[in-house]
């Protein structure tokens, strides 16, 4: 299963293959449209009295299947609840906690009063103690009593689902959301977003996609993260046509989204549509959307892969001039590769030579030597490959000895060539070639 790595998977040029780094989804709560559950988790208590008044004039859940509970606070304990809630408002948490615990210990307290007390303790656990597990525990106990008014109960249930998701209790979050949808008789974008993200984390990707699509359809202003998650659901199943379709649809809604643009570019690569990836990302670059090192790197790699080296060179040079791309081994090697593809070996050699200044082994010097050899700069190639062989081991060490042998032959140094080919026989990758050259040289 492919894993999306938000905000983007970067295409890598490795030899002749363009590869996409696997995505590893790290979707923050805010990306999926959730509320700040740590600060707003237990609003029910603070708004309890306001909700009572509000219920008298309007019903936000006209299709609710849950019957409004009839239990209310007794006149005696109502004063205690008011006292505790006031202390909570004033952030006198110790005083509020004492009263709420007294309510729970009171044998005469009914389920409504106990539920209110648990909600109050959940607030304290959140605001004073920063104890998420206690917040969940108290909220669950309040919900299990099933005694609070619908508005309060439904709000607490939605927050319980949201907080459960943030604490990676995904199955609990899905169960809570399903219960919320059933009891309220209401469809809410946030509820489906929480459900979708939780299912995604449970790797139930088709179900997750259905929920996220529902959240998007219900919302007047869908969260950008929802579109990203929907693309991820298909991408990770390697359903690239579906991921492409969702990405293109998302860009129509959010044409200025840098993240979705780059995600779609990556999906195009996986869907074997590199031309579309190049067109999309080059347009984004021209519009000033590709401004970070990783973004510019992705674009020039695509140009190289698409056999458009001159455009790759232009992007690299502009990036270096603007300070977006540091003049390091990675980008200088890419420039050298592009110059080679453009049949400019001298310029390629210069780029590889500069890259060699940052290298810890002889690979970059070998590449410089090889391009100089291609340009028939044999003496310069010999010097460069000799310098490369002073910094061993490196990937192309056997090939470097073969190259040195070729330079020595052209420059008339037969003994030097023989010695170089003998060295090359010590590497499995070049042994056969070196032995063949030794036979040829012996006949000269």
The pLDDT confidence band at residue 306, using thresholds 50, 70 and 90, is confident
**DSSP per position, 291-319:** -SHHHHHHHHHHHHHTT-HHHHHHHHHHH
441 occurs within a structural domain? yes
CA distances from 72 to 65, 68, 114, 120, 140 (A): 20, 11, 11, 16, 20
Inform me whether the pLDDT recorded for 35 exceeds 50: no
What is the DSSP code (8-state) at residue 110? -
Q: Looking at the 3D structure of the chain, how many domains does it have?
A: 1
Alpha carbon dihedral 84, 90, 92, 95, in 10-degree steps, equals -20
341 occurs within a structural domain? yes
Residue 11, beta-bridge partner list:
20
What pLDDT is stored for residue 71 in this prediction?
75
Residue with tokens 């609710």: 64
User: How far is Cα 145 from Cα 109, in angstroms, rounded to an integer?
Assistant: 12
418 occurs within a structural domain? yes
Inform me whether the pLDDT recorded for 45 exceeds 60: no
Give percent of the chain with pLDDT exceeding 70.
87
As a whole number of Å, the CA-based R_g of the chain is 33
| Beta-strand pair 17-20/11-14 | antiparallel
Q: Is the dihedral of CA 178, 180, 185, 186 positive or negative?
A: negative
The answer to whether 115 touches 122, Cβ cutoff 8 Å, is no
CA distances from 33 to 147, 192, 194, 296 (A): 29, 10, 8, 29
117 occurs within a structural domain? no
430 occurs within a structural domain? yes
310 occurs within a structural domain? no
Inform me whether the pLDDT recorded for 33 exceeds 70: no
Q: pLDDT tens digit string along 255-271?
A: 999 999 999 999 999 99
Domain that holds residue 369: 327-444
What are phi and psi for residue 19, nearest 5 degrees?
A: -120, 145
Inform me whether the pLDDT recorded for 254 exceeds 50: yes
Is-cis flag, bond preceding 7, omega within 30?
A: yes
5 occurs within a structural domain? no
424 occurs within a structural domain? yes
pLDDT (average), residues 271-277: 93
CATH code, domain with 426: 1.25.40.10
Residue 12, beta-bridge partner list:
19
C-alpha of 343 from chain center:
37
The answer to whether 277 touches 299, Cβ cutoff 8 Å, is no
User: How far is Cα 84 from Cα 265, in angstroms, rounded to an integer?
Assistant: 56
Tokens of 325: 């791309």
The chain-wide mean pLDDT, for the chain, equals 88
What pLDDT is stored for residue 58 in this prediction?
76
What is the DSSP code (8-state) at residue 21? P
Q: pLDDT tens digit string along 86-116?
A: 999 999 999 999 999 999 999 999 999 999 9
What pLDDT is stored for residue 47 in this prediction?
52
């Amino acid at each position: 299963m492919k894993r999306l790595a938000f905000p983007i998977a970067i295409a890598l040029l490795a030899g002749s293959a363009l590869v996409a780094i696997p995505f590893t989804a790290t979707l923050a709560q805010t990306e999926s449209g959730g509320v700040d559950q740590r600060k707003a988790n237990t609003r029910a208590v603070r708004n309890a009295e306001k909700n009572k008044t509000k219920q008298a004039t309007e019903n936000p859940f006209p299709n609710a299947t849950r019957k409004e509970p009839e239990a209310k606070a007794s006149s005696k304990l109502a004063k205690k609840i008011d006292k505790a809630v006031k202390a909570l408002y004033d952030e006198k948490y110790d005083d509020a906690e004492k009263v709420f615990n007294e309510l729970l210990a009171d044998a005469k307290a009914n389920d409504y009063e106990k539920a209110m007390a648990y909600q109050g303790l959940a607030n304290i656990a959140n605001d004073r103690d920063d104890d998420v597990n206690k917040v969940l525990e108290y909220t669950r106990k309040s919900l299990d009593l099933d005694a609070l008014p619908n508005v309060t109960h439904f709000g607490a249930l939605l927050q319980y689902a949201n907080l459960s998701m943030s604490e990676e209790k995904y199955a609990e979050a899905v169960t809570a959301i399903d219960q919320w949808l059933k009891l309220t008789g209401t469809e809410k974008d946030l509820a489906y977003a929480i459900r979708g993200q939780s299912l995604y984390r449970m790797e139930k990707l088709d179900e997750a996609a259905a929920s996220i699509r529902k959240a998007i359809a219900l919302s007047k202003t869908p969260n950008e993260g929802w579109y990203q998650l929907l693309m991820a659901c298909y991408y990770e199943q390697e359903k690239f046509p579906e991921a492409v379709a969702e990405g293109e649809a998302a860009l129509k809604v959010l044409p200025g989204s840098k993240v979705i643009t780059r995600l779609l570019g990556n999906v195009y690569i996986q869907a074997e549509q590199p031309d579309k990836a190049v067109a999309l990302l080059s347009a984004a670059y021209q519009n000033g959307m590709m401004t970070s090192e990783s973004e510019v790197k992705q674009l020039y790699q695509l140009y190289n892969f698409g056999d458009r080296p001159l455009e790759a060179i232009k992007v690299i040079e502009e990036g270096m001039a603007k300070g977006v791309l540091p003049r390091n081994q990675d980008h200088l090697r890419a420039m050298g590769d592009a110059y080679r593809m453009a049949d400019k070996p001298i310029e390629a050699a210069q780029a590889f030579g500069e890259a060699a200044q940052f290298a810890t082994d002889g690979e970059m010097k070998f590449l410089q030597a090889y391009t100089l050899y291609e340009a028939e700069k044999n003496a310069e190639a010999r010097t460069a490959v000799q310098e490369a062989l002073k910094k061993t081991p490196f990937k192309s060490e056997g090939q470097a000895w073969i190259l040195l042998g070729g330079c020595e032959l052209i420059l008339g140094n037969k003994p030097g060539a023989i010695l170089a080919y003998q060295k090359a026989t010590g590497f499995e990758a070049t042994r056969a070639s070196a032995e063949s050259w030794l036979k040829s040289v012996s006949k000269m």
